Amino acid sequence: MDFGITEVVQDGKVKDIHCLVMSFPYSNAGLVTPLPSENQECFLEGLKDLFDQTGYVPRKIRLDNLSAAVVKARSGGKETVFTDAFQRFASHYGFEPQACNPRKGNEKGHVENKVGYVRYNFFTPSPVIQDLAHLRELLWEHSCKDHQRSHYRKDLLIKDLMAEEKKYGLALPETAYPVFKEASATANKYGEIIIDGVAVHVPKSYHYNQLHLITYWDHYKVVSPNGEILSKGPRPYMNQERDIPWHDILANWKKKPRSVIYSRYFPYLPGRISHYLNIDSIKLRKERVSWLISLLPKYGMKEIDHLFYELAPKEQADELQGQSDHPYDVNWALYDSLQPMNGQLSKEELSDV
């Protein structure tokens, strides 16, 4: 298994996703789960999810010397020293961890190739997602579809070879391993503690000299010495994102207006703006791109979409507001024209809607 970093688009912004990939050399199968970071909690939670996907636990797992699992790499005739948490996790599931030698990535070359395969086949172009759960579903669908192809040499379907592999795996334990980390924390004079390098305000923390910080892969809890939960919420890295460079993209579209609808960034446009630019007239498309560029210094792309009918030139706004053939827009003019009788619509009017 190994990590690989990929990109997705969520809420109109780019996010980096750390994908934990597990490959199976016998069947050439691969499974992947998305995670927000590569820390120990995410790593172990990712392994749990991959075990659930396979339906069993592999007897041996080879990995590199990532800090989430390894304290000290193999050297000087001494074997690899794994972290206590990873050793407990491996004992719970019964598999044998095998760490590669330092700077010997070729010892896990199969998964290195699989990470690249996932990146270029599952994340090109970057998928538009709602959240990590949505992305996990998309990746599972991609994996299942990929397992329908034939093995490059054995002339058998990958899914059939996976079924054969499963016979030699270990059964999943009755109870899943609880993944969390507990540490002590002290609030500063502003009532803040540091979580993932970010100062997080904790109400009433100034009453206590010592606090308990419990971190899970996606959220945290701050607990008082008396057991009272003072604060809880998503870990700071769950919200890390960066803006799509729309100004540079639009400037390039202005030079090459024919390329707009073929651009990898076109699917990331909000609904009204996408509809606004998806026209046959190249001259008009170029004018509309210029109009968007003029608004960007003051508004974000989502704001322009939200205020579209207020910001667009009046004649164009009136024309567009009456259209109803775009899946992201509602023909509000149709609703405005309906005259309800006693608060209800006739069957004919409902049929028109």
Over the stretch 173-204, which tens digit does the pLDDT of each residue have? Answer: 999 999 999 999 999 988 899 999 999 999 88
Peptide bond into 25 cis (omega under 30): no
Tokens 């199968």 locate to: 29
Q: Rg of the chain's alpha carbons, rounded to an integer?
A: 26
Residue-wise pLDDT for 104-130, tens only, equals: 777 788 899 999 999 999 998 899 999
- Burial of 227 per CB tally in 10 Å (0-12, 13-18, 19+): exposed
pLDDT of the residue at 149: 94
Residue 268 phi, psi (nearest 5): -90, -5
Whose CA is closest to 12, among 124, 122, 128?
Answer: 128
Nearest CA to 142 among 114, 161, 164, 166?
Answer: 114
Residue 108: its pLDDT value, please?
Answer: 83
pLDDT digits (tens, 9 = 90+) for 280-307: 999 999 999 999 999 999 998 989 988 8
- pLDDT category, 322, cuts 50, 70, 90? low
Q: What number is the average pLDDT over the span 309-328?
A: 60
Domain ranges (residues) in the chain: 2-166, 181-239, 244-352
Could you give the CA distance from residue 226 to residue 229 in angstroms, rounded to a whole number? 9
CATH of domain 2-166: 3.30.420.10
Q: What is the pLDDT of residues 217-256, one digit of tens each?
A: 999 999 999 999 999 999 999 888 888 889 999 999 999 9
Taking residue 272's Cβ as centre, other Cβ atoms within 10 Å add up to 20
